[in-house]
Structure 1
Amino acid sequence: MTGRSRNDGGQAFPIYIMMVAGLLFLALAFFAVGKASALRNGSQGAADAAALAAAQKARDNFGTGFYASLPLNVLDPFLEKPFFAPCYEASRLAAANDAMEKSCYPTSGHLRDRITVEVEGLKPVDSSVLPGSENKKAKAEATALIEFRCPNPEAVDVNSDGIMDLFIFTCRNGKVLEIAPGSPPPWETVSRTLFDVRLVDQ
């Protein structure tokens, strides 16, 4: 009886070792997957922040062209033409969120449209249970829409000289703006009413 018990114990020990090794591997695998998921989420957050920052900066830069388009009533052509994407702002926000901006470009053609930013995280997954993960970094992409939300303004030619002296904007958010091209308000006081900036799917 004693000899049989020792024999059974000797056979069980390798199985025990294999079970412990298997559980340890699973624990490491779950940890690696969790780390990869966290890095992916971090990169997505960096991409979102970068795209929004670039779009908001682009909106800030619209003021001069927007106001210049009003007297001759050529607002629609201004809103449809290509615009500059301030990708330096995207790079700055990506870096602040432990990522690197890999691409940044605007898509023009419909009331100023959107900016797309792709980023790559700075930290690799680097797990011993995932081959090649020592150089694997999370990538993410985000697109921010810059939407003109006060279409079809009423143009008023006070002096009947062919030059529009007043524009009345009725916006989708319920606000009404009156802008005189000859003495326009500071752009920062009206830009957020005129243009909405938000994240969208491509």
Structure 2
Amino acid sequence: MTAKLRGEAGQAFPIYVVMVAGLLFLAFAFFTVGKASALRNGAQGAADSAALAAAQQSRELFGAPFYASLPGGTLDVFLQGHPVLGCPAAHSYAAANGAKIDPPVSGCIASPGGERDEISVKVKTLKPVGASVVPGMKKKFANGHATAVIEWRCPKWRSVDYNDDGVQDQYFFLCRGQMLTISPESPPPWSQVSKILFDVHLVDS
């Protein structure tokens, strides 16, 4: 009787080993899938922050040419032809979030559009998923893509030349229900009015 039990135990042992090995494989596979998913989320977060940073930096750089356009009444020219120069910030923010703009040059594209500019970025994580029981994951990187817009918020505005000397002395902007007055001779700090004049946000890409 004892010998029979020992024989059955001996036969069951290989099955037990296979079951344990299978469970371990599944555990490592699920871990890899989870790690890859987290990496993809991280890549998308890096892309979002990079696109927003690029748009915000571009808005900051609008200050000097925007104010320069006011005295001579060339604001329309500025709105239709201003440069969008925020891509350096995209590179910095991508790196700060464990990713890089990829490709380095064409991975950040600014598309001036008059009163609505777009900046699109593509990023790739700096680190791959790493060694795994799942084939092909060792050198698998995650990618992210995001687009941010810089949108002019003040479709209704007018200027006044009090002295009839060709120099505009006062501007009045209606920005989505908010009134803003700017005197070109003594304009407020750009940081105080930039968010009223221009909205920055992500869009579906």
Q: Which runs of 5+ in 1 are unaligned?
A: none
8 Å CA contact 2:61–2:85 kept in 1: the answer is no
Structure 2 unaligned residues grouped into runs of 5+: none
Which amino acid letter does the alignment assign opposite residue 195 of structure 1? F
1:164 equivalent in structure 2:
168
1:76 and 2:76 aligned: yes
Superposed CA offset, 1:103-140 (max 9, x none): 11111214141211111111110132122222111111
Residue in 2 aligned with 1:50?
Answer: 50
Asked if 1:111 corresponds to 2:139, the answer is: no
Task: Name the residue aligned to 2:138.
Answer: 134
Letter in 2 for 1:139: N
Structure 2 partner of 1:175: 178
Aligned residues: 201
Q: CA deviation at 1:23?
A: 0.6
- TM-score (normalised: structure 1): 0.90
Aligned to 1:37: 37
Root mean square deviation of aligned Cα: 1.8
SS of 1:85 mapped into structure 2: coil
Q: Tell which deviates more after alignment, 133-142 or 157-166.
A: 157-166
* Contact 2:108-2:119 within 8 A present in 1 as well: yes
Residues of 2 paired with 1:176 and 1:68: CA distance? Answer: 21
1 CA distance for matches of 2:125 and 2:85?
A: 22
- Structure 1 residues 152-202: Cα deviation after superposition (integer angstroms, max 9, x where no partner): 202222223444321101111x32111122322221221111111111112
Which residue identity lines up with residue 83 of structure 2 in the other structure?
Answer: F
Q: Does 2:199 match 1:196?
A: yes
Matched residues in 2 for 1:186 and 1:26: separation?
59
Moved more, 138-147 or 68-77: 68-77
Cα deviation digits, residues 43-70 of structure 1 (max 9, x gap): 1111111111111111010012212222
